Structure 1
């Protein structure tokens, strides 16, 4: 299985390409939908990397793919500017998932 990147900037795409991961750069909602459809249709892609910006700007599109498709596994990654998440993101995620405050 292969990894594939859908990024919002060329620098992240270039860095991943140097690591052997192919990808595309998109900026608009329709471009993202088209890139996701092509990635889902390609059965060789097992892991789909998305920059975090897409999860923030188009959560309904990303969530729809996550909920309605078993493959590929979608992972949101920070871009070259770093993460947009709060420093305690993982603790908050665990608290929400198990219902206990850590």
Structure 2
């Protein structure tokens, strides 16, 4: 089982390649969704790492996949261009799922 990175910048991809994680750089929503779909069906990929900027291109699709697809695991990672609001996103997911604001 492998990790795979879908990134919006070459710097993150280069860093991940140094630790043995393959990936691809995309910039548009459609190419991101096509690559994500392709990797969701790749049985060798266990974890898909996605940069925050790409998650923000399709939050509805990502939320749906996280709730309904048992594998592979989709994990948001921040890149070097700023901080991530992953904690806020998790609060939002939980609040939406259970109907209680955290």
**SS of the residue aligned with 2:46?**
strand
TM-score, normalised to structure 1's length? 0.80
Aligned residues: 98
Q: TM-score scaled to structure 2, two decimals?
A: 0.80
CA, structure 1 residues 42+84, in 2 after alignment: closer, same or farther (shift >3 Å)? same
Aligned position for 1:54: 54
Which protein shows a greater Rg? 1
Deviations 1:54-98 (A, max 9, x none): 222310121222223211001000012232328xx37x83x9589
Residue equivalent to 2:42 = 42
Aligned to 2:4: 4
CA RMSD of aligned residues (A): 2.5
Which consecutive unaligned segments of at least 5 residues does structure 1 have? none
